[in-house]
Structure 1
Amino acid sequence: MIKKFIAVLIFISGTSFSQAQNNITVENIYTMPSVNSPVLSPKGDKLIYITNEPGKSNPQSLILLDLNTQKSETILNTGSDPQWSPDGQKIALRANLNGKSGIHVLNLNDKSTKFIAQINNSNHFLGHSANKNYAWSPDGKSIAFVSADLSSAPTVDPSAPKVIERILYKSRTSFSDNRLTKIYVANLENGEIKTLTQDIYDSHSITWSPDSKKIAYISNHTADPDANYNNDIFIVDIATSKIEQITKTPGTEHNPNWSPDGKYILYPATVRLRNTKDSSGEDMKLYTYEVATGKITCITQNLDERLDGAKWTNDSKSYYFGFPKNGKRVLYKGTLNSEIITPIVDENASVGRPTTGGNKIAFTKSTPSQPNEIYITSNEGKTVTQITQLSTNWLKDKTLAKNEDFWFQSHDGVKVHGFIAYPANVAKGVKIPVIHRIHGGPHGAFGFSYTDINEILVANGYAVISLNPRGSSGYGQKFTDGTYQAWGGGDYLDLMAGIDYALEKYPFLDANRMGVTGGSYGGFMTNWVVTQTDRYKAAVTSASVSNLISFYGTSIYPDLIETEFNGMPWDNYSLLWHFSPMAHIKNVKTPTLIIHGENDMDVPVTQAEEFFIGLKKLGVPTKFIRYQNEGHGFTQQKNRLHNNQQLLAWFNQYLK
């Protein structure tokens, strides 16, 4: 009996005594240190960044690195979003210090801190690209910040009946607090705080004019901002609080950036009449607004890439920008007076947003075998130096997956990109089980970056296939539009063609032991897949959509259905029902684990409930795990750990 019990434990965990003890596991993955938020000083001689080292008494640290001497020091054990003062003598950051939460300024000369302003939160959802940021004035005398106006919504008795009168009455994890987001300016000399935007509209995504007299920002001043996503750019005068609207387009503007010479405001935008706060099907372009004339120019008209912002060079003649490209995230340089773009970092990696100072550019970079580390170049990418080694050192004694990418032709000849991760030591003639992961969006994409769950699955003897079917971003606008009015159409056929190709290309993949999984849109597609084929022996669907019609009225994204299916559901009922997994649930034979956060308002838990009850009524093996106090993506480590353990156990049960 004892020997039998041990054997069962080994089988369930997916490990064996012969395996190395240095595998990545569902438990130790949360001990890996990480870095984020690198910011170069104005002269480029210093760098600040944040580290997180789980297990330490003070896991989070704000690090100051002198790039001339290569000496580093921890200057705080708290804080986020650090920013240099224009003179390079101080650092502002969001933190809770001495019982005060908000913006603090750290003086590097004596390491003293000063509380500047409290930041009040609003949970009202303004869109994934809405930047509730703060920024130093270029003269260093003020800090502008985005904060909620507590007086804009009365305090409500939580036990009282809810009287709802607006479309977006939900936030991402609860009900909207209805607090307006406004722009404020704190005077650093006398401590006074001034409210700049005193209208009835949410304001965010601020950028200063170089003379410190004005701020450009984003707002939606239509009759009912809940009913559309028509953001525009506005300018507010600091002295008078006078507001001017400078764009009046039917599309959506995002995150303006004022040029150092004051002549232009650079911003990404869309032009289509319908857009969504969630996963936009339209690839944004970069535009300039000429301050003196009001002229608006698209400066990337001929660039068929998904752009999301840019960083000016000091001379205001050029800009750095990143974008997804064939599974990579690259960093390029463009110029205002020409359509020529120059690669700074274009390799099989994922490059983060750049920060500049002096002649240097700093950024984070991840590859399939390495999580984010910080890199710097002083000659625009000709040589690049790795600055941090935290995750690199942690992984030195770990057994990592072998990663490759491949291209295949889909059913109609369209070329599609895919990735595979698998154990490096698969013996010849051995067959191993396969997990097919499906990304969210629908306009997300897999790529050349480190992925925890891939490493966990490979360490447990699986191969992982990740495909970028039509609808994925980074392959041009036509490809991104491939799911328009057809979720589960061409993208599903691409996925099946990709699996067929991988099974042929990699003979160690076991076609008889395949599982499928995904979250959000990947969860929708997982549900769709098991209604269309029984080639998979197990499925794990997370935060998934199962009914496009009921999803429309319960999600915080009614605009997603309107955009993706070109109209209102009552005009597209038959089409929406056809592409709903619930319409085909009688076909399901695949054992399916359903995972969902109970506070998810992106994809409400009712979507999981519908699919679960349907599967139970049909007698399909299924289990439904609901996570309390979690939304669309889990924030609590204990729940992330439990989620991965359950996913692994489900696949082990049916595939091993």
Structure 2
Amino acid sequence: MKTTFGRAALLTAITAGALAADAAAQTRRLSLDHYMDMESVSNPRISPDGSKIVYTRGWVDKVNDRRESSLYMMNADGSRKRALVDGGGARWSPDGTRILFTAAGEPSGSQIFVRWMDEEGATTQITRLENGPSSPRWSPDGEWIAFTSRVNDRADFAGVDLPSRPDGATWTTGPKIVERAGYKRDRQGYVDTGWTHVFVVPADGGAARQLTTGDWNHGGIAWSPDGSEIYFSSYRAADWDRPEHWQESEIYAVSVASGAIRQLTERRGPDAGPVPSPDGSLIAYSAGDEHRDTYRNSRIHVMNRDGSGSRLISGDYDRQSGGFQWAPDGSGLYFNVSREGYRQLHFVSVDGGVTQLTDGAHLFSLSSFAEDGTAVGTIATDHEPGDLYRFSLSTPGEVTRLTEVNADVLHGVTLGEVEEVWYESTDGFRIQGWIVKPPDFDPDREYPLMLAIHGGPHGMYNGGFNFAFQEHASNDYVVLYTNPRGSTGYGTEFANAINHDYPGADFPDLMGGVDEMLRRGYVDEDNVFVYGCSGGGILTSYIVGNTDRFRAASANCPIVNWMSAMGTSDAIGYLRTFEKPFWEDPEEWMDRSSIFYVGNVTTPTMLMTGEMDLRTPMGQTEEFYQALHYEGVPTVMVRFQGEWHGTSSRPSNFLRTQLYLRKWFEQWGTQRASVTTEDGDDGGGDGQRGGEDDGS
């Protein structure tokens, strides 16, 4: 079925039919049980000849409380869908006879596999790495696979000689020795030793050969079309880890035969993401100038293969861009852009200038295309979680739907209406947001309101399907989520408007959204609640110290004291968002730290954080919790087990997050509801974006 994708296609035919059939019946609403049955599709890869599509299908493993994925294949017309093998990240070999993918393997962790795409389907494990691979890429002739992987090292200060150990003695394991500024990373733990390097391995298996060496990290790899070199980004300087070089990266080329390295760029600022043109004469990359701003969008450049002749081709186009893919004729690059709450396909010409190719209230992403220009990608809308589509690069607005993976789960379920809203804020800024209304919405009724705040702070809520918000709405909440200044997708000036003023500069944008909702007449002004995780938790803790207009709040995975956080968080880069270090001038640090406003808090405030969180460490939650107790403010601390940053990487923890949030709001609101928790109590929870944690 071909359609010109736009607002009219926001609901699938099956959902529309189900709604019509159930119109006279009692409304079936979204529930947390539905979440455990939801599936996802991603990373569609079309074969070079355009006949087959391989893609990743994800689901919830209810028994082991984790998300899993498998590779599926179908014909290019969407027929004959079938499972291939567990794993993900598939890529076709240049001749279309094989795919590479990653999956759990020996000796442990993720490994690279190759599967032949004939009837036999023979599969071989290609790597046996101590540390898993990243970004595997076929060589142009299909004989090799390049990838990056971490190479273990030991600290220079590590070795000491102990006295002889008595026979049979059991002594404590030696200490971890820390020498680098960045010595830990959320979801990984302590990473002080080791470096990420570039490797190649024969595509039929064998020993992996390390191409880069030295005490630097390397990433963003791409083969030259003739297969002689691999391009990557790094900053291979002796003083690479000095604070003044935090933005620096350059593009290099390493010879596959000899390991010799050429530096291709040499400028102040980040150069990354090299992508060579089909004939190998040009290399496209993203670049930005050195700056002291909180945020700037990068621009698109091209240079000759030897690094000469670098020039800007995206002009003054100022949006967050990614996924660069050269047109087959080398005339320019296709890329995806997230802007103003949606995602569209764009094209940039090597002669200069950016053209938007798609339009509509959707999240449109190009994944790959065949030699004849037949392309595949994903599209999501406010009522559809996302499915696979086929289209032509020449007419990307005309799409053919290939999957409907959640039609069975959502069949007969009435979702809440999603309304886009814009409103005026201070300093001349216009703010975009969305409202999710309960099913069977009655404009003459007054509903409790949840204001949800995204993380980042340089992130962006979008108009796509959000299970968390829809599930809250199904429990008769109106949910408002907005993109205050600091959000991406609206240009550098908007995103950088919080420079040296976060949290705080975005406060009026959020309050303006609440004012807009109260003017509409269907929000109960006595039951207005606020929550957020990460950057949203930071803002929530700031909000309750600066206004008492909310009935209750939940500040999840927050930073409340920038001074103590910078000594304990893995996000040491935040040091650079202040004018001076706090030991030189603590005034700005205190002004932007919610802990110093805790004496003003009267709002009952819950805190929810993962116990393994290294981004917004548990100590930050504990500081605010103890201070609220001291001030006599109602509070509770929910410490999530098995969680790093955020509270919903485990499916069961997503359910708890939703339930505990509503439980807290219902405890302090004047409206009451009843939701059963795993312990049999009434409950509620905090919503994350579609079940994924917001990043700080």
TM-score (norm 1): 0.90
In structure 2, relative to structure 1, the CA distance for the partners of 1:646 and 1:189 (3 Å cut) is: closer
Three-state SS of the structure 2 residue aligned to 1:488 is coil
The answer to whether the aligner puts 1:93 opposite 2:93 as a matched pair is no
Three-state SS of the structure 1 residue aligned to 2:412 is coil
Name whichever of 306-315 and 90-99 sits farther off.
90-99
Q: Which runs of 5+ in 1 are unaligned?
A: 1-17, 123-130
Three-state SS of the structure 2 residue aligned to 1:106 is strand
Three-state SS of the structure 2 residue aligned to 1:166 is coil
CA distance in 1, matches of 2:663, 2:466: 19
Three-state SS of the structure 1 residue aligned to 2:232 is strand
Q: Which residue of 2 aligns with 1:132?
A: 134
2:353 to 339, 346, 357: 339
List aligned pairs for 1:86-125, cutoff 5 A.
86-96=94-104, 101-109=110-118, 110-121=120-131
Q: Which residue of 2 aligns with 1:552?
A: 566
Q: Which string of whole-angstrom CA distances, capped at 9 and with x for unpartnered residues, describes residues 323-348 of structure 1?
A: 121111111122111314141x2211
The alpha-carbon deviation at position 521 of structure 1 amounts to 0.7
Name whichever of 614-623 and 549-558 sits farther off.
549-558
One-letter amino acid of the structure 2 residue matched with residue 193 of structure 1:
A
CA distance in 1, matches of 2:27, 2:470: 14
Q: Which residue of 1 aligns with 2:507?
A: 492
Name whichever of 30-39 and 605-614 sits farther off.
30-39
1:61 to 64, 67, 70: 70
Q: Which residue of 2 aligns with 1:537?
A: 551
Q: Which residue of 1 aligns with 2:28?
A: 22
CA distance in 2, matches of 1:172, 1:144: 26
User: What RMSD, in angstroms, separates the aligned Cα atoms of the two structures?
Assistant: 2.4
Q: Which residue of 2 aligns with 1:142?
A: 144
The alpha-carbon deviation at position 488 of structure 1 amounts to 2.7
CA distance in 2, matches of 1:64, 1:373: 14
TM-score (norm 2): 0.85
Three-state SS of the structure 1 residue aligned to 2:616 is coil
One-letter amino acid of the structure 2 residue matched with residue 244 of structure 1:
R
Q: Which residue of 1 aligns with 2:686?
A: none
Name whichever of 52-61 and 585-594 sits farther off.
52-61
Q: Which residue of 1 aligns with 2:676?
A: none
Q: Which residue of 1 aligns with 2:225?
A: 210
Three-state SS of the structure 1 residue aligned to 2:175 is coil
Q: Which string of whole-angstrom CA distances, capped at 9 and with x for unpartnered residues, describes residues 29-70 of structure 1?
A: 121121112111112221100112446999743111111572
Name whichever of 398-407 and 387-396 sits farther off.
387-396
The alpha-carbon deviation at position 628 of structure 1 amounts to 2.9
Q: Which residue of 2 aligns with 1:179?
A: 194
Q: Which residue of 1 aligns with 2:375?
A: 361
The alpha-carbon deviation at position 607 of structure 1 amounts to 0.9
CA distance in 1, matches of 2:426, 2:153: 58
Three-state SS of the structure 1 residue aligned to 2:597 is helix
Q: Which string of whole-angstrom CA distances, capped at 9 and with x for unpartnered residues, describes residues 442-497 of structure 1?
A: 11111111111101110111000111111111111111111011013321011111
CA distance in 1, matches of 2:395, 2:220: 28
Q: Which residue of 2 aligns with 1:84?
A: 92
Q: Which runs of 5+ in 2 are unaligned?
A: 1-23, 160-170, 672-696
Q: Which residue of 2 aligns with 1:34?
A: 40
CA distance in 2, matches of 1:19, 1:540: 36
Q: Which residue of 2 aligns with 1:515?
A: 529
One-letter amino acid of the structure 2 residue matched with residue 104 of structure 1:
F
Q: Is the 8 A contact 1:320 1:354 kept in 2?
A: no
The answer to whether the aligner puts 1:581 opposite 2:594 as a matched pair is yes
Three-state SS of the structure 2 residue aligned to 1:65 is strand
The percent of aligned pairs where both chains have the same amino acid is 29
In structure 2, relative to structure 1, the CA distance for the partners of 1:568 and 1:241 (3 Å cut) is: same
Q: Which string of whole-angstrom CA distances, capped at 9 and with x for unpartnered residues, describes residues 59-98 of structure 1?
A: 743111111572222221x111111000001010012358
Three-state SS of the structure 2 residue aligned to 1:30 is helix
CA distance in 2, matches of 1:580, 1:641: 30
The answer to whether the aligner puts 1:47 opposite 2:49 as a matched pair is no
1:349 to 345, 357, 362: 362
Q: Which residue of 1 aligns with 2:685?
A: none
Q: Is the 8 A contact 1:542 1:595 kept in 2?
A: yes
The answer to whether the aligner puts 1:619 opposite 2:632 as a matched pair is yes
Q: Is the 8 A contact 1:136 1:144 kept in 2?
A: yes
CA distance in 2, matches of 1:75, 1:43: 20
Equivalent pairs, count: 623
CA distance in 2, matches of 1:149, 1:197: 11
The alpha-carbon deviation at position 570 of structure 1 amounts to 3.0
Q: Which string of whole-angstrom CA distances, capped at 9 and with x for unpartnered residues, describes residues 523-576 of structure 1?
A: 0000011001111011111111101121222211221231x2244333442011
Q: Is the 8 A contact 1:39 1:49 kept in 2?
A: yes
Name whichever of 474-483 and 355-364 sits farther off.
355-364
The answer to whether the aligner puts 1:298 opposite 2:312 as a matched pair is yes
CA distance in 1, matches of 2:665, 2:288: 41
The alpha-carbon deviation at position 417 of structure 1 amounts to 1.1
